[in-house]
Amino acid sequence: MKSLPEDIFHSYWNYLFNEVVHYLPIMVVVLIIVGLVLSMVHFRDSKPCVHVLGVLLFLTPFALIVPICFFREQLGDRNFQRKLLVEVITRKPAVKGKEWKTITYNMNQYLFVNNLWNTPYYFYRDEDCHRYFLSLIEGHTFKKQDKSSINSVKDVQRTEFFTFSPGPNYQVCLSKAAEIEQRSQNYYWRQQYPGIGALL
């Protein structure tokens, strides 16, 4: 069974502690602060230690914010997003369905293997991964294509220039994944409220 952090760790705080311990810049700052505190206790009224400790305590939040901002930029990488979209297209997950657990596990592994995160536990639960996926497609308008329009697009693509991008076409994946999610959402709300069918 593919386990997520919520299945492995006893609590969310244990999970956070594990993530902090595995992030070297944070551990270096913590060790320096502990060393300074111990030296202050040992040397008592050492003003240089107090000043350095104050500066480090001031800089600690920045040591946390910078990697978070950097990682968000990594999540904006098209290869990561494309991988998530292909997972959704392949597995066709239901809203709150068990498929999201597999998708989340696979995305955590992808981030770890590709050195985008220090542990294979970025998304704590499947709802976090689903929420990230929704942020990719939310607010976009997608046009459904019938087979004839797809054929005409293929004909046009044969004669037009293109920009190479490794892997499947991002826009097509985005559109297809959004269509699958919309179908899942419609099914979910019809199950919850049977009389809502005309509104969907």
Which of 27-31, 73-77, 181-185, 194-198 is predicted least confidently? 73-77
Q: What is the pLDDT of residues 113-159, one digit of tens each?
A: 988 888 888 899 999 999 999 999 887 776 665 555 445 445 545 55
Q: Among residues 62, 67, 57, 68, which one has the least CA distance to residue 32?
A: 57
Question: And the tokens for 92?
Answer: 């066709």
Beta-carbon neighbour count of residue 94 at 10 Å?
A: 16
CA distance readout (Å), 130 to 63, 72, 97, 104, 151? 28, 16, 10, 8, 32
CA distance readout (Å), 23 to 18, 19, 58, 62, 137? 9, 6, 19, 14, 31
Question: And the tokens for 61?
Answer: 């939040």
Which of 55-64, 94-103, 113-122, 191-200 is predicted least confidently? 55-64
Mean pLDDT score of the chain = 78
State how far the Cα of 95 lies from the Cα of 188, in Å rounded to an integer. 6
Q: What is the pLDDT of residues 16-39, one digit of tens each?
A: 888 777 776 667 767 776 776 776
